[in-house]
Amino acid sequence: MATQHSRSAARLMIAPAVFVLLVWMLIPLCMTLYFSFADYRPMRATFEPWIGFDNYVSFVTSSSFTNSVITTLQMVGGILCITIAGGIALALLLDQPIFGQGVVRILVIAPFFVMPTVSALVWKNMFFNVDNGLFSYLYKALGLQPYDFLSQAPVFSIVVIVAWQWLPFATLILLTAVQSLSSEQLEAAEMDGAPGWARFWYIILPHLSRAITVVILIQTIFLLSVFAEIFVTTNGAFGTRTLTYLVYQRVLESQNIGLGSAGGIIAVILANIVAIFLMRIVGKNLDN
Partner 1 sequence: MGRITLENVQKRFGEVEVIPPLNLTIEDGEFVVFVGPSGCGKSTLLRLIAGLEDVSGGEIRIDGRPATDLPPAKRGLAMVFQSYALYPHMSVRKNIAFPLKMAGMDQAEQDRRIAKAAEALNLTDYLDRRPGQLSGGQRQRVAIGRAIVREPAAFLFDEPLSNLDAALRVGMRMEISELHTTLATTMIYVTHDQVEAMTMADKIVVLRAGNIEQVGTPLDLYREPRNVFVAGFIGSPKMNLLEGEHARAHGCKTIGIRPEHLDVVDSGGTFTGKIGVAEHLGSDTFFHVHIPGMAEPMTVRASGEVGLRHGDPIHLAPQADKIHRFDDKGLRIS
Partner 2 sequence: MARAITTRKKVMWTALSWGIGLLIFFPILWTFLTSFKTEATAIADPPVWFAFDWTLENYRAVQERSNYPLALTNSIIIAVGSTILGIAIAVPAAWAMAFVPGRRTKDVLLWMLSTKMLPAVGVLYPLVLLAKWLGVMDSRILLIVVLMLINLPIIVWMLYTYFREIPGEILEAARMDGASLRNEIIYVLTPMAIPGIASTILLNIILAWNEAFWTILLTTVDAAPLTKFIASFSAPEGLFYAKLSAASMMAIAPILVMGWFSQKQLVRGLTFGAVK
The contact set with partner 1 (CB under 8 A) reads 1-5
Per-residue interface string for the shown chain with partner 2, residues 59-88, x marking contact by CB under 8 A:
------------------------------
Measured from the CB of residue 41, what is the shortest distance to partner 2 in angstroms?
A: 12
Nearest to partner 2 of 34, 74 (CB atom): 34
Cα separations (Å) of 170 from 69, 162, 255? 24, 12, 37
Return the H-helix or E-strand segment holding 152.
helix 149-152
Measured from the CB atom, is 5 or 284 closer to partner 1?
A: 5
- The number of angstroms, rounded, from the C-alpha of 190 to the middle of its chain's C-alpha atoms is 37
Residue 214 contact among partner 2, partner 1, none, beta carbon within 5 to 8 Å by kind: partner 2
CA distance linking residue 86 with residue 184, whole number of Å: 26
Q: How far is the CB of 10 from partner 1 (least distance, A)?
A: 14
Among 54, 74, 116, 146, binds partner 2 (CB under 8 A): 116
Q: Is 161 exposed, middle or buried (0-12, 13-18, 19+ CB in 10 A)?
A: buried
In the set 56, 59, 127, 135, which binds partner 2 (CB under 8 A)?
127
125 part of the interface to partner 2, by CB under 8 A: yes
Please, what is the end-to-end C-alpha distance for the chain in angstroms?
18
Please identify, using beta-carbon distances, which residue of 94 and 155 lies nearer to partner 2: 94
C-beta of 10 vs 26, nearer to partner 1: 10
For β-strands 46-48 and 39-41, DSSP reports them as antiparallel
Classify 193 as helix, strand or coil. coil
Residues 6+ apart with CB under 8 A from 76: 220, 223, 224
Cβ contacts of 160 within 8 Å, gap of 6 or more:
123
β-bridge mates for residue 46, sequence order: 41
Q: Which of 66, 151, 152, 285 binds partner 2 (CB under 8 A)?
A: 285
Residues 39-58 that bind partner 2 (CB under 8 A): none
Q: What is the footprint of partner 2 within residues 214-243 (CB under 8 A)?
A: 214, 218, 221, 224-225, 227-228, 231-233, 243
